[in-house]
A and B are shown apart, each in its own frame.
Chain A
Amino acid sequence: MKTLHFFAEHRQEMLGLTGEHLLLVAIYTLIGAIAGIPLGVIAAHRPRFGKWILGFANVVQTIPSLALFGFLIPLPFIGGVGSRTALVALVLYALLPIVRNTATGITGVDPVMREAALGLGLTPRQMLWMVELPLARGIIFAGLRVATVVNVGVATIAAAVGAGGLGMYIFRGVSMVDNRLILAGAIPAALLALVLDFTLGQIESSLKNQRRSSFPLLSFFGVLCASVVIMLFPRSHVSTIVVGGKNFTEQLILGEILAQQIESHTALHVERRLNLAGSLIAHQALIAGEIDMYVEYVGTALQGVLKLPLITDPDAAAARVRSEYASRWGIEAGQSLGFENTFAVLVRGEDARRLHLGTITDAVSYTPKWTAGFGYEFMEREDGFPGLSRVYGLRFAAPPKVLDLTLTYRALAGKQVDLIAGNSTDGLIPALNLTQLADDRHYFPPYQAVTLVRGSTLAAHPEVRAALDALADKIAADEMRRMNAAVDLDHREPRDVAAQFLRASMRY
């Protein structure tokens, strides 16, 4: 029931995304056909060369789509992030069924037809257009049908590289562990596949009748091409800002905050690409100009993107990131939004109050009587527990318990352990009444959240800078935790949570 209610509430948005999805599939399958049918013809006419073409198409088909996106991202021209990568991937997937069916259809033309055509004096080109393609059209169309249905599925995964469509719901649902969102993406996608399969199946069986002219079909595709072109063109004239984000809850909320802030302070149209799969993809999208901005964390920018050594002083780290981004890519790193998303050493709120604990150093004298619980990753990483215990001289009653990260919060609240290391902005911190101990020796790398914006965007739209500057230092860590909790635990929409935050905090 809750799911149905969600569907009813979001039907406008679901319809829009379904339309976007359909357009994505239609364009890319069409391009696949434009490339694949000639390749199939070549494969049929030159079997030796054809073996290579079919072999290539076969290999491409066996690559899982996420892996294919991974391969494509670093490539120049065809790779990168956003619709271009999705285009290449979807076209490649469409290729195999189209090439194979075209080749099969053409080699399958009755040799008697071929002999008659040759004997009557048809040129090779006339043979192709008047005999081979018309006689193979049913099989070629069956290939198009398979390619279309396959691409409905592949296109959902294209959301990971920012291509939009129903996959946005699915990825958001997976990152927010919200089944309603996953279903809101998966059900329309499945229905779309079924409807397309059925409709194209009807056309295919009508094509089996050799007497029917190909003209209606060709004009149908002509109209389709024309409408796609018409739909694509006017969009480039509108002044649009694209806000990016990585695919986890906090980034969805921050992306919405940026987007709504710009929408309410400028006349610009804002597009959201909030499901990019990780920092690398978001970064590629930013320097390629596919997105204009996204929120990154200083430590990730410094070590993950710039590949520079750790700088423990927060201001020095932020300054280094700012100057490197400006000189390398002309990207401006704004002021901190006011919080860090870093490892957080957590204790129960009641203990913190009773023992007056404010920092990790404060806790060192108590820990020999305590038990700690850590996630696998924190136990293994050099910048996790091993370094932490060395720097602070932490000792525990027993070796730390190792358990799944999300379970450590419950274990702490349930008094099975007394100290854990979590994420500083996790919504469970306020929900379970936990207290973060300050990292007074600056052991953890600084991870302040900063907005990265393309310099060219700020130059073209100075009003964007004003809107973003107003957000500086506005989001405290506990505010971020509350918003994460609202989405993760109360299942509220990131959009609504962001709007509420802006209404409340921007009044001042």
Chain B
Amino acid sequence: MIEFRNVRCTVPSGQVLLDGLTLKIEPGETLALLGRSGSGKTTTLKLINRLREPASGEVLVDGKPVRDWDVIKLRRSLGYVIQEAGLFPHFSIARNVALVPTLEGWDPARIVARVKEMLELVGLDPAQFADRFPDQLSGGQRQRVGVARALAADPPVLLMDEPFGALDPITRGEIQQEFVALRDRLQKTVIFVTHDIREALLLGGKIALLEAGHLIAHGTPDEIRASSDLAVKKFLQ
């Protein structure tokens, strides 16, 4: 379980990125962090794996404040997918996927098997793709590898920062469908950032709507659609 307790986050210049955020994410839930750019949605995500630190308030993972976690251990238990995948260009696809298991000191045979399993999971033929390099793949393929890499060490939580933002509309539609299937199969806690209302409604089990650093709505897609709040209605149009 992940929990935000009255979290405020600022940058050194004093600008407030996020204020008074209180939010609970249940195990197995898929939460869409929805908002315009500058609304604080990416900040919210990065507070979980400590790429950002709160100015006040507390973020808890599994009931323990994140600042009490060993930061490396915390991050390795939270799969992380970013826009345009962030694959390492000097690593083959197999090595990219194998990264966290390698760091965790897995047995080499187990790593090979896991890489194969992960590539198959995201719909890439291991025989064809394992030895290629990121610059030989299309944007959609790279994004799938990014997901495979994040899932390789089997973390209970997956954090995704605009994972489909850089894809063309057709690829994006395809990969969103696959994501739904994957989500239902893996039963992981997934938190993803998006500015696309349709994507949030399609993929999110719950949606947290942020505006200028404040949480203005939190609920299931149906609850959000039915909201009578003016700001929410305005966003939905």
- The 5 nearest A-B residue pairs measured at CB: A116-B86, A119-B80, A121-B75, A121-B76, A210-B90
| Proximity bits, A184-212, B CB within 8 Å = 1, else 0 | 00000000000000000000000000110
Q: Please tell me if the beta carbons of A121 and B72 are within 8 angstroms of each other in the complex.
A: yes
Listed A/B pairs (7) with beta-carbon separation below 8 Å: A115-B51, A115-B82, A116-B80, A118-B51, A119-B75, A120-B99, A121-B73
User: Which one of A119, A126, A135 contacts B49 once the chains associate, using CB atoms below 8 Å?
Assistant: A119
Q: Which among B75, B89, B90 is the interface contact of A120 at CB below 8 angstroms?
A: B75
Least CB separation from B71: chain A residue: A121
Residues 98-120 of A, flagged 1 when their CB comes within 8 A of B and 0 if not, give 00000000000000110111111
Q: Are A121 and B133 in contact (CB under 8 A)?
A: no
Known contacts A113-B88, A115-B51; A123 and B133 CB within 8 A of each other: no
Question: How far does the alpha carbon of A118 sit from the alpha carbon of B50 in the complex, in Å?
Answer: 9
5 additional contacts (CB under 8 A) given A112-B86, A119-B51, A120-B99: A116-B82, A119-B75, A120-B149, A121-B73, A210-B133
A349 is an interface residue with CB less than 8 A from chain B: no
B88 surroundings in chain A (CB, below 8 A): 113, 116-117, 130-131, 135
Residues of the B chain whose Cβ atoms lie less than 8 Å from the Cβ of A117: 88
Q: Is A122 an interface residue (CB 8 A)?
A: yes
Q: Which residues of B contact A210 (CB under 8 A)?
A: 89-90, 133, 135
State whether A126 and B133 are in contact (beta carbons under 8 Å apart), knowing that A115-B51, A116-B86 are contacts in the complex. no
- CB < 8 Å: which of A112, A121, A126 contacts B84? A112
Smallest distance from the beta carbon of A218 to chain B beta carbons, Å?
14
Q: Bound complex: CA of A112 vs CA of B73, how far in Å?
A: 21
Docked-complex contact B51 and A135, CB < 8 angstroms: no
- Any chain A CB within 8 A of the CB of B193? no
Nearest residue, chain B, Cβ from A111 = B86
The interface residues of chain A lying within 8 Å CB-to-CB of B78 are 119
Tell me the complex Cα distance, A130–B149, Å: 16
Taking the closest CB of chain A, its distance from the CB of B214, in whole angstroms, is 25
B residues near A (Cβ < 8 Å) are 49, 51, 72-76, 78, 80, 82, 84-90, 92, 99-100, 103, 133, 135, 149-150, 159
In the complex, the answer to whether B51 meets A211 with C-beta atoms within 8 Å is: no
Contacts of B85 in A (CB 8 A): 116
Cα A115 to Cα B149 in complex, Å, equals 14
Residues of B within 8 A of A126 (CB): 103
Interface membership of A134, Cβ < 8 A: yes
Contacts of B89 in A (CB 8 A): 135, 210
Set of chain A residues within 8 Å of B74, measured between Cβ atoms: 121
Tell me the number of A-to-B contacts counted with CB atoms below 8 Å: 55
Q: How near does chain B come to A256, taking the closest CB pair, in angstroms?
A: 56
B90 pairs with A211, CB closer than 8 A: yes
Question: Known: A119-B51, A121-B75, A121-B103. Is A134-B82 also a contact (CB below 8 A)?
Answer: no
> Which residues of A (116-151) have their CB < 8 Å from a CB of B?
116-123, 126, 130-131, 134-135
Shortest distance from the beta carbon of A482 to any chain B beta carbon, whole Å: 69
A117→B89 CA distance, assembly (Å): 12
Collect the chain B residues with CB atoms within 8 Å of residue A112's CB: 82, 84, 86
B3 to chain A, nearest CB (A): 20
Residue of chain B at shortest CB distance from A123: B72
Contact B90 A134 (CB under 8 A): yes
Do A119 and B103 form a contact, CB below 8 Å, given A112-B86, A135-B90? Answer: no
Q: Which residue of A lies closest to B87 (CB)?
A: A116
Most buried by B among A119, A120, A123, A134: A120
Evaluate contact between B75 and A118: CB separation under 8 angstroms.
yes
> CB-CB < 8 A to A118: which residues of B?
51, 75
| CB proximity of B82 to chain A, nearest CB, Å | 6
Assembly CA distance A115 to B84 (angstroms) = 12
CB neighbours of A130 from chain B (8 A): 88
Q: Which residue of A lies closest to B73 (CB)?
A: A121
Q: What is the bound-complex CA distance between A113 and B85, given in angstroms?
A: 9
Q: How far is it, in angstroms, between the C-alpha of A210 and the C-alpha of B135 when the chains are bound?
A: 10
A293-310 to B contact mask, C-beta < 8 Å, 1/0: 000000000000000000
- The answer to whether A115 and B90 touch (CB under 8 A), given A120-B75, A123-B72, is no
- The CA-CA distance from A120 to B90 in the complex, in Å, is 17
Give the residues from 71 to 119 in chain A that come closer than 8 angstroms, CB to CB, to chain B.
112-113, 115-119
Q: Is the CB of B99 within 8 A of A119?
A: no
**Shortest beta-carbon distance from B151 to chain A in Å:** 12
Q: For the complex, what is the distance from the CA of A123 to the CA of B70, rounded to whole Å?
A: 11
> How near does chain B come to A61, taking the closest CB pair, in angstroms?
31
- Give the docked Cα–Cα distance between A117 and B91 (Å): 13
